Amino acid sequence: MHNNFTKTYPDVQHYTSIDSTNAEAQRYLEKNNPKDLLWFLADEQEAGKGRMGSEWVSNKGNLFCSLICPINWDLKLLPMLSGLVAVTIHETLSQFIGSSNLLKIKWPNDILINDSKISGALIENIINGANKYTIIGIGINVISSPNLDIYKTSHINKHLENHTDVNEVFLKLKNNLENRLLIFSYKSAAIIREEMLRNAWKINEKINYISNSIEDSGIFVNISDDYEIIIRTDTSLTKLNSGELKIIRN
Ligand code: BTN
């Protein structure tokens, strides 16, 4: 099941194949109460999970990982964790592709390049009395991207002359995410919000969205300090969280 990666990095559980690294992290937390960060990395996933019950196509050569992180910050900061993850993936992809204007964060935490999705994140919180954990699942397309009907996709190597590989991307992401988590606080949350806004897809533009099962449109004007999206329509200013609003990509 595990291979050599785990020998070099004791904080990484590496699987050649698994249903979902997020599911495996959940199973781990049913039996353990880790004090430190613990990574789950898989070469491929048989049942990769996306946000809002979607599937995450998980072919070999791309990155599928989840991080178990004990929550040792104020729970009110939790919504901004989604922003922390978004800016960290954006930063990591910039280190490979260059901080091109093409890389954008689609709220809450998709990364798009040229309007095509290259990465997504699924954050699941396990709060059980005094035991508080977040599982940060991240998928990054490195060597290939699936052909999907619902949206356009891309991958890192499509934008590189000298190709990279999944291990290189994982180690950069690991480093960047661990560094940012170490200093996660109200102070860094304010900086994360600004970084998100600088790189936000469709900021100050009209977006179409679904909220309460109703399709609507409005101008995406801001992100609040609890990482809600703020939308202006002719009649109102609405602030909604990522469970309440889904941006439609057209
Ligand atoms: C999305 O954009 O819908 C979120 C995609 C998250 C995919 C990653 S891949 C590693 C981890 N394990 C999963 O089953 N999902 C996340």
Per-residue pLDDT at 1 exceeds 60: no
Rounded mean pLDDT of 119-142?
Answer: 96
Q: Which class does domain 12-198 fall in?
A: alpha beta
- Tell me which of 17, 49, 134 to substitute to probe ligand 1's pocket, judged by most ligand atoms within 8 Å of the beta carbon: 49
**Average pLDDT, whole number, for the chain?**
95
Output the pLDDT for position 157. 97
The tens digit of pLDDT for each residue in 198-234 reads 999 999 999 999 999 999 999 999 999 999 999 999 9
Pocket of ligand 1 (CB under 6 A): 20-22, 45, 48-51, 54, 56, 64-66, 110, 120-122, 137-139
Look at ligand 1, atom 11, and give the residue with the nearest C-alpha: 137
Rounded mean pLDDT of 181-190?
Answer: 96
Q: Taking the model in full, what pTM does it have?
A: 0.96
Per-residue pLDDT at 129 exceeds 90: no
Domain 206-248 matching CATH 2.40.50.100: the answer reads no
Rounded mean pLDDT of 5-23?
Answer: 93
Output the pLDDT for position 34. 97
CA of 250 to the centre of ligand 1 (A): 22
Tell me how far apart the alpha carbons of residues 223 and 202 are, in angstroms, rounded to a whole number.
12
Output the pLDDT for position 2. 57
Output the pLDDT for position 4. 64
Q: Where are the domains of the chain?
A: 12-198, 206-248
CA of 233 to the centre of ligand 1 (A): 32
| CATH fold match for the domains 12-198 and 206-248 | no
CA of 37 to the centre of ligand 1 (A): 18
